[in-house]
Amino acid sequence: MKKINLNTIENFISQGESEVLEFKKSTTQIKPIFETLCGFLNGDGGTVVIGVSSSGNIIGQDVTDNTKQEVAQHIAKIEPATQFNISYLKISQGKQLIVIRTRKSDYRPHVYNGRAYQRSQSSTSRMSQHRYEQLLVERGQLNYAWDDQDASNYSINDLDEERILAAIHHGIIKKRLPASTIKKNLNQVLEQLHLSENGVLKNAAIVLFGKDTLANYLQCELRMARFKDITRHEFLDGDIIHGSLFYLLDEGEIFAKRHISVAAKITAESFRRVETPEMPYGVIREALLNALCHRDYIMRGGSVGLAFYTNRIEVLNSGGLQTGMTIEQIKKGHSNPRNKRIAFALHRCGYIEHWGRGIEEMIQGCISAGLPEPTFESTPMEFKIIFPLMHRIIEEKTFNERFIKEKKRRFNKARANLTERQQEIINVFLAQNNNPLRLKELQELLENRYSERTLRRELSTLKEKQLLETMGHTNKAVWFVII
């Protein structure tokens, strides 16, 4: 869809409400707004303008991050998943208009909150059972694949060029792409990877390389947790992130490395630390990649999960096995990708095998590490890989006496060159027995009150000096002394 501006909207408003146009005062009417949008999807498309009275007077409304999150949450209640074009237009006195547009959908009937709606003249009503069944039959005749749908509201500017180039480079190294690929422009590369057709991006392109996926691709989500024991009653660490497939894969790998226990020892010959993880990192990365590639993206409320328990690691994704596939078949290497465009691009870029060897490689990776084979569970809603841990390998907290003395010597040497303010920060951590502290907690414990900006700058400096380390993101981050 073309970009819209205030003049265009004013022309729309002057025409009054119709079968393809509706006004709403504010997002306090969020349910009727999305009932109407559902009706537009099931009809010829249409536009809802929020911030306009029923008589056509432009009044606008305040738009905050909570407003945008609320809109995104209700988009997730539309099924099958689809895209909306959302514009925020500034008007006088700090108010904005929210303009939500949609095309006629090829995948009707859509439902909102479990109910189907239709548009007649300038009103929205519940769809009749007969009409719903008619549209259902029409949809059943389509070759329906979510990653094959056009991402018509997105352009090449919405893709992360650096990640695309990195993927191409990886494919060339793996000899899946010719070296000449690097000389092509991005449009040509996307066509070559089957991520666009005639200049129009596919959903697969946004999943793999989108820079900002939250608004229309809520399902591009990774949930991560480290639980206290073998249940979900209490967790020690966790995060929920949104983004492109490669971003989620990288973040999942970082989280895994933080929570996979490591046996460590110092070799007498070289005075070097040798580590052996309880689960090979490559096995977990392969499992995450498998989940991100083959999950059911139609499920807007779905996600990929990475969970650590005291006796197992689980990787799970929304959507069970494809119809007709069994667990025994996938263990033998049979493959029927749900998301063929995503799988094709990942294969050409050298990240997955074309003939379903991912599961086999996970099994062999566990066997080679002396671990039990993973087990697999599939329901219509979820596919899960479970990696049993024979025992938690507890990382050694102390090494030989020489190593401890050397570490303390380096720590004290680095402290000798600190400013008075930096010494005060280190002393607070040591007084707390080096328990991890959040920024706000540290501010309260310091004798002198420093601004958040100043404190963040000092913490970063201490991290560069290898005296402090951090874990987590933004406001959830905690800091601790390295000693």
Nearest-Å Rg of the Cα atoms of the chain is 27
> For 410, phi and psi rounded to 5 degrees?
-65, -40
Give the integer Cα–Cα distance in Å for 89 and 87.
Answer: 6
**Tell me: the pLDDT tens digits for 140-157?**
655 567 888 888 788 999
For residue 82, the model assigns a pLDDT of: 87
Mean pLDDT highest for which of 24-38, 138-152, 261-275, 401-415? 24-38
**pLDDT averaged over every residue in the chain:** 85
287 or 274: which leads in pLDDT: 287
Could you read off the pLDDT of 99-135 as tens digits, one per residue?
999 988 878 899 999 999 999 888 999 998 878 887 8
Are the CB atoms for 173 and 124 separated by under 8 Å? no
Mean pLDDT value across residues 453-459: 89
What are the pLDDT digits (tens) for 286-316?
Answer: 999 999 999 988 777 789 999 999 889 999 9
Domains, the chain, with CATH or none? 6-143 (3.30.950.30), 145-399 (3.30.565.60), 401-481 (1.10.10.10)
Each residue's pLDDT tens digit, 369-382: 888 899 999 887 78
Residues 25, 31, 35, 38, Cα dihedral to 10°? 100
CA angle 367, 288, 225 (to 5 degrees): 100
Spatial contact of 88 and 96, defined as CB atoms under 8 Å apart: yes
> For 435-453, what is the mean pLDDT?
85
- pTM here is 0.57
| Mean pLDDT along residues 55-81 | 91
pLDDT digits (tens, 9 = 90+) for 161-173: 999 999 999 999 9
Residue labelled with tokens 């027995």: 433
pLDDT at 392: 46
Q: Give the per-residue pLDDT at 399.
A: 41
Residue 394 has pLDDT above 70, yes or no: no
